[in-house]
Structure 1
Amino acid sequence: MPPRRQRRPSESPALIAFGRQMRRMREAKGVKQETIAHITQVSGPQVSKIENGKKRATRSFVEIVDDHLEGDGALINLWEDLNKNGHPVPIWFDWPQIEADAVMLICWQHSVIPGLAQTPEYALAIVHGNQETADVRINRQTILTRDDERGPAIVLFLIEEQVLYHQVGTHETMRKQLEHLIEISRMPNVTVQVVLSRGDHDGNMGAFVLATMEDRNEIAYVETAIRSITTDDPADLSVLARTLLQLRSQALTQEMSCELIRKVAEERWT
C-alpha cells in the first residue's frame, strides 16, 4: 500500500502576516509596488506574491525595502521573527515555487537520481506506485524547457557514482533512466556530472539543491534525516558552497560522465 499522502495547508499565516505589514508600510508612504520591484530588481508579480503571503522574501529584499520605506528596522525585525534559527517558517512552504522561479539549480544526490532528471517509471518506483505524486514530480521538469522571458533554467546534476548501481524498479527501468540522463545532458542548459566514490566527503551528510534566483540571491533545499529544510542563511550557504567545491573536485567531466553512465547501463542493466 502506498504511503498516506499528507495534506499541506494552502497558505502560511507567517507569510501572510509579513506581507500585510509590508503592504501597510508601503501604502503609508505612498510607494507603488512597481517602485519596490525596481529598487529590489524583483519582478512586479513577485512583489505582489510576497505581499499576498504566497512567496517568502529574502533578507536582502527586506533590507532594501525597509530602508526605502524608512522602516527603521521594523520590517527586518519582523522577517527575523518569522525566520528563527536561520530557517524560514514554514520550512515546507516555498520550495516548489522557488524551484519553479529559479534561473539556475545545482542538484546533488548521493542515493537516487534527482527528481528533475527522473523518468516517469523511475519516479513511480521511488514513490512506491503513487501515481499522483509521481506525476507531480515529473511535471516539475518543465523548468528544463521553460518558455518565457527567463528561458529554461540552467541545471547542474551532480550524482554520486553509486547511484548508477542502486536498483530502483526493474532492470529496464534503470536502463531507461540512465539513457535518459545521457539524453538530457545534450540539452544546452543541462550538465550531468558523476562524482566518483572516493571515501568521505561532506556531500555524504545529505542531498541538497542550491537555487539561484533572478535577483542573484541563493536559496537552498537540504534533505536531513528528520526533515527537509529551505534556507538562505549565509552560514548554511557557505557550508554548501564548500561542499560543492569538494564535490566538483571529485566529479568527472560531462563527457566522461556520460561514458560511464552508458557503460553501466549496458553492462549492469541490460
Structure 2
Amino acid sequence: MTDSTISVENTSNEPEPSDSLKAFGAAHKAFRKRAGYTQEEYAPLVRYQPSTVASIEQGRRFPPRVFVERAEEVLDAFGALKGVYKHVSREKGLASWFRQWAELEEQAISLYTYENRFVPGLLQTEAYALTLFQARVPLLTESEIEAQVTARLERQSLFAERPHTAFSFIVEEHVLRRPTGGEELMRAQIDHILEATEPRNVEVQVMPMSRGFHPGLNGPIRLLETPDNEWFAYLEGQESSQFIVNPKTISVLHMRYAKLRSQALTPEDSRSLLERLRGVL
C-alpha cells in the first residue's frame, strides 16, 4: 500500500454519532430563518433541492463542502457555518470509512460504477435496499437498518441535484437475474432502473453472462471526476475498503472500466434485456 492508497477497515456496522450533524443543521436553520428564507425560497439560492436542505437541517445528511460555501455567502454567516463544519462527523446511516468518497460523490461531474455483487446503491429501490440490510451478518438492529436504508435512498438525490453529471453503471447480468427479495421485488427493481436511465446523463450497461471473462472479475470499481478534473477511485471489499488517489492506479482502473464498457451490452441493448427480464419475472 502506498501513501496514495488509503485503506480502512470496517470493524463495526455502527455508524458514527450524528450529534455534530444536528448541531450544524440547527446553526444553518437559525441563519436561514434570520435571513427570512423558507426552505423552498432558499434552496435555489444554494442550488440544491428543498428536500436536501431539510435533510441537512434535520441532521440526517452530511453537508457537501460546496453547500457550506454557498450557505456562508447567501446567509452572510460570518464564517460560523464553516467553523461548525470543521467538527462535523458523518451522518447516521453511512459508515465512517465511506465519508471521504461520499463527500466527493456530491460534487462529481462524472461517476462510473461497475458492480458484480448487487444492484448499485444509487439505483436501488427501498425494498431492495431493505432486503440487503436485513441479510447483513452480524445482524443489524431495526434502527440500524432504518438508518442505513434512509442514508442510501437520500444519496439518490444526486440524480436530481446533478443533472449534468455523467452517470455510468455497468452491472452483471446475473445480479439482475437473482430473485433478491422475490420476483415481485425484482420486477419493481428493474422498473426502477429503467426509469432511472431515462435522463440522457444516466447510462446503464449490462455485462452479459455469455461474456466468459473480462477485466472486472477482481471486484467492483468506482471512479469519479471532480469539478477540478481530478479523478479518484474507491474499491470496496468484505471488511475493508480503499480510497485511491494514486494517478497510476486510477489509470489502470480507467483502462479496465473502458474495457468493460466495450465488452458490455450497449445502453440500448441493455435496456432491451432489462425489459425482457422484467417480463420473465
Normalised to the residue count of structure 2, the TM-score between the two structures is 0.63
Query: CA-to-partner distance for each residue in 1:23-65, whole Å, 9 max, x for gaps?
Result: xxxxxxxxxxxxxxxxxxx97939x97x94879xxxxxxxxxx
| 158, 163, 166: which one aligns with 2:175 | 163
SS in structure 2 opposite 1:203?
coil
Gap regions ≥5 residues in structure 2: 1-11, 19-64, 71-78, 90-95, 135-141
What corresponds to 1:204 in structure 2?
A: 217
Aligned equivalent of 2:226: 213
Q: Distance in 2 between matches of 1:91 and 1:220?
A: 14
CA distance in 2, matches of 1:194, 1:166: 14
What does residue 85 of structure 1 align with? none
| 1:243 matched residue in structure 2 | 256
Greater CA drift, 222-231 or 172-181: 222-231
The offset of 1:261, in angstroms, is 0.6
**Deviation readout 1:63-112 (Å, 9 max, x if unpaired):** xxxxxxxxxxxxxxxxxxxxxxxxxxx85431111111111101110111
Q: Which residue does 2:111 correspond to in 1?
A: 105
Where do residues 45-194 of structure 1 align in structure 2 (5 Å cutoff)? 45=69, 52=86, 92-128=98-134, 130-146=145-161, 151-194=163-206
Would the aligned equivalents of 1:195 and 1:250 in 2 still touch at CA under 8 Å? Answer: yes
Amino acid corresponding to residue 122 of structure 2 in structure 1 = L
Larger radius of gyration: 1
> How far apart, CA to CA, are the structure 2 residues paired with 1:204 and 1:9?
36
Q: How far does residue 6 in structure 1 lie from its aligned partner after superposition?
A: 1.5
Which amino acid counterpart does residue 191 of structure 2 have in structure 1? E
Q: 3-state SS of the aligned residue for 2:171?
A: strand
Q: SS at the partner of 1:157? A: strand
Report the 3-state secondary structure (helix = DSSP H, G, I; strand = E; otherwise coil) of the residue aligned with 1:94.
Answer: helix
Counterpart Cα distance in 1 of 2:184 and 2:231: 37
Question: TM-score, normalised to structure 1's length?
Answer: 0.65
Distance 1:108 1:145 in 2: 21
Cα separation, 2, equivalents of 1:6 and 1:52: 22
Q: Is the 8 A contact 1:145 1:153 kept in 2?
A: no
Contact 2:163 2:201 in 1 (8 A): no
CA distance in 2, matches of 1:52, 1:133: 24
Instruction: Determine the C-alpha separation between the residues in 1 that align with 2:87 and 2:246.
Output: 20
Structure 1 unpaired stretches of 5+: 11-41, 56-89
What does 1:223-262 align with in structure 2 at a 5 Å threshold? 223-262=236-275
C-alpha contact 1:159 1:194 (8 A) present in aligned 2:
yes
Letter in 2 for 1:187: P
Letter of the 1:234 partner, please give it. P
Shift in CA distance, 8/208, structure 1 to aligned 2, threshold 3 Å: farther
CA RMSD of aligned residues (A): 2.9
Do the aligned residues in 2 keep the contact of 1:210 with 1:221 (CA within 8 Å)? Answer: yes
